[in-house]
Structure 1
Amino acid sequence: MSGVLEVFARPSFFVKLATHVELSMISLIIAIAIALPTAFAVRNTQIGTAIAINAGNVGRAVPSLALLALALPFLGFGFAPSLVALTALAVPPILINATTGLREVSGEVVDAARGMGLSEAQILRDIQLPMAAPVVFAGVRTSAVQVVASATLATFIGGGGLGDLIVEGFQSGDSSILLAGAFSVAILAIITEIIFEILEKVFTPKGLKLAQKKRGR
Structure 2
Amino acid sequence: MSALRLVIFDVDGTLVDSQADIVAAMTHAFARAGREAPSRDTILSIVGLSLDRAIAFLAPDLPPEIQSRMVEWYKDAYVALRAEIGAAQSSPLYPGAREVLEALHAQPETLLGVATGKSRRGLDKLLEGHGLERMFITQQVSDHHPSKPHPSMIRAALAETGLEPHQAVMIGDTSFDMEMAAAAGVTGIGVGWGYHPREALGAARYVIESFDALPPLLQQIWETAA
TM-score, normalised by the number of residues in structure 1: 0.28
Higher strand share: 2
TM-score, normalised by the number of residues in structure 2: 0.27
Which one has the largest radius of gyration? 1
